[in-house]
Amino acid sequence: MTSIEVEDGVEVFVRDMGMGDPIVFLHGWPLDHRMFEYQYQYLLDEGFRCIGIDLRGFGESDKPYGDYSYDRFADDVRAVLDELDVEGVTLAGFSMGGATATHYMSRHDEAYVDKLALLGAASPVITEKPDFPEGLDEAEVNPLIEGARTDRAKMNADFDEMLFYTDQSEEMMNWIWSLGMKASGQATVASAKTWRDADLRPDMNDITVPTKVYHGVHDEVTPIETTGEILTEGIQNAELVRFENSGHGLVADETEKINEELATFAN
């Protein structure tokens, strides 16, 4: 475990485990790298190197007031990979981390990355645009932002209830909630505005590496029809893998399946 200083002096926390082929994990909103605990266990046993990054504002990383754009997140990821100097990466991003991953691939010319794994990615577009009426109405997203401003603890609990299709234990839900509460309030609000407003469709044209799009068919946060299917159509070497018994949180809904899929893809 270490912290890496990025260009504006912010310390980004990185957990680096194992010695094999590297898989770099980018977490979703408003969680941190620990959300992949049950992926790490399996993949380390399978001989992979697992690198979990806490995006700025979340987990153990610094929490500055300021910029939480996808440009900023992607630049931080590049700084981490530059420091680690790791080749042949499978970049695995969940939800907001998936959008960060697609933007990284475009903004940084796929540096260090040989394969891309998108898990319930919040990409390329979440909310309605003039030429994208299929997106969510902003009125469905804004209560999360307002809740983060006024009662972040309740907002996190309410959002957690949206994540899963299968029943999760009370203890699991409490743990997920605790990850969200580790984030800074300002980062939670600012990054929610980022994923609400972003249009990453141009980035898809720049992604050339083999890509797997893993998506729950019951996802209510990033519906498969407006994210997973569009990513698969827009990225030239992408394949959609449908998770029939998953909502947004496929890492917990179908843990065994996602673990086996990642191991096979990253091999």
pLDDT for residue 102: 98
pLDDT for residue 73: 98
Task: Provide the CATH number for the domain around residue 22.
Answer: 3.40.50.1820
pLDDT digits (tens, 9 = 90+) for 44-102: 999 999 999 999 999 999 999 999 999 999 999 999 999 999 999 999 999 999 999 99
H-state helical runs in 108-137 = none
pTM to 2 decimal places: 0.97
Read off the tokens for 236: 């030239």
pLDDT for residue 217: 98
pLDDT digits (tens, 9 = 90+) for 220-229: 999 999 999 9
Mark the ranges of the chain whose per-residue pLDDT is less than 70: 1
Catalytic residue among 21, 32, 76, 95: 95
Catalytic residue among 75, 103, 248, 253: 248
Q: Which residue has the tokens 């394949």?
A: 239
Interstrand relation of 211-216 and 238-243 (parallel, antiparallel or unpaired): parallel
Q: Which residue has the tokens 């969940």?
A: 94
95 is catalytic: yes
Q: How far apart are CA 255 and CA 257, in angstroms?
A: 6
Report how far apart, in Å, the C-alpha atoms of 100 and of each of 74, 96, 122, 131, 175 are.
6, 6, 9, 22, 24
Domain containing residue 20 = 2-266
Sheet of 22-26, strand order = 2-5, 11-17, 49-53, 22-26, 89-94, 113-119, 211-216, 238-243
81 CB contacts (<8 Å, ≥6 apart)?
24, 89, 111, 112
DSSP letter string over 80-95? HHHHHT--SEEEEEET
219 is catalytic: yes
pLDDT for residue 7: 87
Number of domains in the chain: 1
Catalytic residue among 123, 219, 246, 253: 219
